[in-house]
Structure 1
Amino acid sequence: MTAAAVLVLYAAVATTAPRGPGGGAGRSRWAERAPRLAIAVWLAACASVVASTLLAAFAVAVPAPVVGHRLAEFFEVCAMLLSGWRAPSSPGAWAALSFAGLVVARVVWCGAAVLVEAGRERRRHKEMLDILGRHDGELGAVVLDHGEAVAYCVPGRRGRAVITTGALRSLAPEQVAAVLAHERAHLRGRHHLALAAAEALSRAFFRLPLFARARSEIARLVELLADDVAARGHSRAHIAAALVRLATGPAPASALGAGGETALIRVRRMLGPAHPLGRGERLAGLAALGALLAGPAAVVAVPGVSSFLAHHCHTISIF
């Protein structure tokens, strides 16, 4: 029960904290310098809360001594473990398992809904592009006849980078190349999957601040990451100039656009880049990522392993 209480307390604090793993001054210090790592940390924080909830229910339903005994049986013979398992009989255990089942069902349902809705919207948009757009082999993008300067990508199978004639008229060739490199970075990095995961968790737990904050932060960070990838082969000044011209051009639903409300912030970042994370900082970030992913399982495992050792160490011989 101690493990369950620890996990529940952690989940409660993490989901209601006003600032997430990249919030406040810490965000400006490291998340914008390592957006890929920051995205992973946000997703790991959300996953650790869900895992803590599920594992807390498991800890209530299956006491530590039972885990210890069953581990011993597993090492002796797996068949005995399966045949010797008994369903929990206490109302509290059944309530915990039922709650865990509801959480899993909620997450799966919302995840499926997000994927289906986004897939439907992208298919419709691709059908529209097939009719109204034309593929430009030199640009490697679909050109859409539209007066407003817009550039975006439609991810998924046969993902496409799209740019309007308005953007081609207002941007220099070097800026066009930089913008399309940004969109191709989205497609190659499959950034829409990170956004879909964040959106599904936000829908599943819509009243909890952590998941809403993760969705908005990941949407911002994938744009920073695509900017960084584009900057590897193109001038940061060209990217910044293109972002200024595309700032008011919104992307269609279920697409990732180079412009939008974060464009002006990204312009300042392109013109005044911060130093990348040092080795120590990156190792600390990776350690935090590992702790978020492995921590809940370790909390649950410690009592069971302790019970296993307490009850069965006398059978272990040292040769």
Structure 2
Amino acid sequence: MMVPVALLLLGALTAVLAPRVFARASWTEREPVVALWMWQCVVVGVLLCCALSMAVSAAAAWKAVRGHLFAPAPHGVIDAYALAGSGPWAAATATVLAAGGAWTIVMLTREVAEARRRRRHDRAELLVRSPLLPGEKRGTDRLLVLEGDRPETWWLPGAPSQLVITTAALRRLKGRQLDSVIAHEQGHAQARHDWLLHCSGALARGFPQVPVFAAFRDEMHRLVELAADDVASRRFGRMTTALALVELNEDKGVFGPCPSPRAHVPQRVDRLLAAKPRLTAARRLRLTAAGALVPLVPVLVAFGPGLHTLG
């Protein structure tokens, strides 16, 4: 009855090592999309370890679960897992992991509900700042221009999503700079980065004692911006995108010596101006394949004894 223990150890090892490996990696800023993929694979791998360990532990603790879980399997497969010899810890492990799974669902539901509440609030605020004309319907336009003294642009997700831009931003951004900002926000919308942020935020809030989930949330906020910057820079150039970032943020104190909530903006500008080359296609493929292996390993560990018996 070593499979649940092996899965839990594998999940703990992945949760501990993954943030350290990513922190030392020098390629993540050059390939943020690949880094996003690998981070998702790591988190899915950790969650799979917990879910599969819960399933096998529950099968060991309760015959009813065992009957449903191993119903289509030959009798020899059940013997390979040595479920009958498990101690009382199997029920406790299954219960704790099930509670963790339920808490994850609760936190994700809460995160989605809060996001919807914020969107309703933002849309109501936009309606006050930009009232509808007689016969006009809100949400039919994908671009909304607001009167404003501060240059700001933001993407409002939902159905349909909208790009909101202030008149101050229109006055500051010239030609291709405005196009690059629109492309940046379209990159967020097309990749559905809002869902990545919801999931990472839910895990980090639900399990603040697990460092890998906090690192996942922080990296998602950073990498989605870098990925959207790349979408804009590939269409309109790195210099144009960097200048657009400066124009939008130079009056917000982000380029001064004191830290600010937007401290990542100068780093994004420096990255665009540095213009480091992308990784080769072969290396991107290897990294993508390595990421896909992370959630595959716990599946192989869980099904290993049964596959060995059948083989």
Same fold, TM-score > 0.5, yes or no = yes
Q: In the TM superposition, what whole-angstrom CA distance separates every residue of 1:170-210 from its partner, at most 9, and x where no partner exists? A: 22232112111111211122110111111111112111111
Counterpart of 2:104? 107
Q: 1:197 to 1:98 in 2, by over 3 A?
A: same
Scaled by the length of structure 2, the TM-score of the pair is 0.81
Are 2:46 and 1:60 equivalent residues in the alignment? no
From 28, 33, 37, the counterpart of 2:34: 37
- In the TM superposition, 1:221-300 aligns within 5 A as 221-247=223-249, 260-300=262-302
CA distance in 2, matches of 1:134, 1:49: 47
SS of the aligned residue for 2:155 comes to: strand
Counterpart of 1:301? 303
Give the letter for the 2:94 counterpart: L
CA distance in 2, matches of 1:249, 1:54: 48
Counterpart of 1:117? 114
Give the conservation status (yes or no) of the 8 Å contact 2:151–2:172: yes
- In the TM superposition, 1:68-79 aligns within 5 A as 74=72
CA distance in 1, matches of 2:263, 2:157: 20
SS of the aligned residue for 2:235 comes to: coil
Q: In the TM superposition, what whole-angstrom CA distance separates every residue of 1:139-160 from its partner, at most 9, and x where no partner exists? A: 9621122211211111122111
- In the TM superposition, 1:152-167 aligns within 5 A as 152-167=154-169
Q: 1:249 to 1:46 in 2, by over 3 A?
A: farther
Range with bigger deviation, 267-276 or 188-197: 267-276
- In the TM superposition, 1:176-195 aligns within 5 A as 176-195=178-197
Deviation at 1:96, TM superposition (A): 2.3
Q: 1:6 to 1:55 in 2, by over 3 A?
A: same
Q: 1:96 to 1:140 in 2, by over 3 A?
A: closer
Q: In the TM superposition, what whole-angstrom CA distance separates every residue of 1:22-51 from its partner, at most 9, and x where no partner exists? A: 222x1x3x2122211211111221121121
Aligned-residue identity in percent? 31
RMSD over aligned CA atoms reads 3.2
CA distance in 2, matches of 1:227, 1:21: 24
Q: 1:73 to 1:58 in 2, by over 3 A?
A: closer
Counterpart of 1:315? none
Give the conservation status (yes or no) of the 8 Å contact 1:71–1:308: no
From 207, 211, 214, the counterpart of 2:213: 211
Give the letter for the 1:6 counterpart: A
Deviation at 1:164, TM superposition (A): 1.4
How many aligned residue pairs are there?
A: 286
Counterpart of 2:90? 93
Q: 1:87 to 1:143 in 2, by over 3 A?
A: farther
Q: In the TM superposition, what whole-angstrom CA distance separates every residue of 1:281-300 from its partner, at most 9, and x where no partner exists? A: 11221222211121111111
Q: In the TM superposition, what whole-angstrom CA distance separates every residue of 1:80-131 from its partner, at most 9, and x where no partner exists? A: x9xxxx9999633322221221011011000000000011101110122133
Scaled by the length of structure 1, the TM-score of the pair is 0.79
Counterpart of 2:257? none
CA distance in 1, matches of 2:280, 2:237: 23
